[in-house]
Structure 1
Amino acid sequence: MSMWKDQLSGKKDAPGPLPEATPPTTPNPAPFTPEPVASTPTPAPRPAAREVKESLIASDLTIEGKIEGTGHVRIAGTFKGDVNVQGDLTIEQGARLSGGVKANKVVIAGELEGNIEAAKQVELLASGALTGDVKCGSMTVATGARMRGQADFGWDGSEPKKKDRDPDAA
């Protein structure tokens, strides 16, 4: 007689139900450690200083126009126009910029033909050439650098101009 019929008919000498199968186990399983889950999502930590991006004008490009905004600008090619950025401006060796500059820090390794206004720091490297006037907080000029123009640096703006001074004052 078949085993299925015996189970269904309810005979006493029929074998009982089959034991449940247990899943196969792997030898020495690694212990499971669940990672803690936060009940509310936490925002990513803010960096201490805002990350600033850098834009590049490649060495094989010539661009004419105007650059304004935040971030750093690196010129390796040729740019004709004004640059006004709240960041750093770097003119690489072999690059050329013709136009006015307003930036936090200006590094010149190539050629700049134009005035620099309101920069905190200007670095004129040995391979650099500047034709124009400079107004900045501090200026570094390397041996071998070339400059033609007037440089005003080190003044914080609180000093009165010569024509504003009282000639009778001591």
Structure 2
Amino acid sequence: MARNINHKEAIELKTTLGKETKFKGTMRFKDSLKIDGKFEGEIISRGFLYIERDAEIKADIRVGSIVIGGIVYGNIEASDKLEMLSTGRVFGNIKTRVLKIADGVAFEGKCEMIKDSDSIDVFSDTVVNLKRTAQGVS
């Protein structure tokens, strides 16, 4: 079930990479992270990621939920929810269960929606197609 993203919660995050921060490598975190600086590499977490308006990210991202207010170059997979604010710019493919896009967003890439297991009708599909769906293969 998708979790509602609270922007106030995101702004009050205790873990922050500030405006003057430049980080290169793999970032893993448990709960939540706000990025306001520059990041290059890979971001992996089951938690919540908030990308501030002035942030510039060059990374492939796999997280639980994400709010994007800055610029991201790379593919994003959010297992729960992906939200792009009006200042957000994404140049890469996205994959998520719930997607929210504000007016004014720049997005260049493909979007794939993750299906809930509840949406699979096991009685009207072939076994081969059911296996493909379960494995995430189209």
Instruction: Tell me whether the two structures share a fold, i.e. TM-score over 0.5.
Output: yes
Extract unaligned runs of 5+ from structure 1: 1-52
**Is the contact made by 2:65 and 2:78 (CA closer than 8 Å) also made in structure 1?**
no
2:46 maps to a residue whose letter is Q
1:88 maps onto 2:48 in alignment: yes
What is the alpha-carbon distance in structure 2 between the residues aligned to residue 118 and residue 90 of structure 1? 12
What is the alpha-carbon distance in structure 1 between the residues aligned to residue 40 and residue 79 of structure 2? 19
**Is the contact made by 2:81 and 2:98 (CA closer than 8 Å) also made in structure 1?**
yes
2:101 paired residue among 136, 141, 153: 141
TM-score of the superposed pair, with normalisation by structure 1: 0.60
TM-score of the superposed pair, with normalisation by structure 2: 0.73
Counterpart secondary structure, 1:73? strand
| Structure with bigger RCO (C-alpha 8 Å, 6+ apart) | 2
Deviations 1:96-119 (A, max 9, x none): 111111111110000011111243
2:80 maps to a residue whose letter is K
Deviations 1:11-40 (A, max 9, x none): xxxxxxxxxxxxxxxxxxxxxxxxxxxxxx
2:39 paired residue among 57, 67, 79: 79
4+ aligned runs moved over 3 Å, structure 1: 157-160
| 1:109-124 correspondence to structure 2 within 5 Å | 109-124=69-84
**Is the contact made by 1:124 and 1:141 (CA closer than 8 Å) also made in structure 2?**
yes
Counterpart secondary structure, 2:57? strand
**Is the contact made by 2:81 and 2:96 (CA closer than 8 Å) also made in structure 1?**
yes
Counterpart secondary structure, 1:82? strand
Deviations 1:77-125 (A, max 9, x none): 0000111012101110010111111111110000011111243100011
Counterpart secondary structure, 1:155? coil
Query: What RMSD in Å do the two structures reach over aligned CA positions?
Result: 2.0
2:33 maps to a residue whose letter is V
Counterpart secondary structure, 1:126? coil
What is the alpha-carbon distance in structure 2 between the residues aligned to residue 149 and residue 121 of structure 1? 17
| 1:119-130 correspondence to structure 2 within 5 Å | 119-130=79-90
Identity %: 25
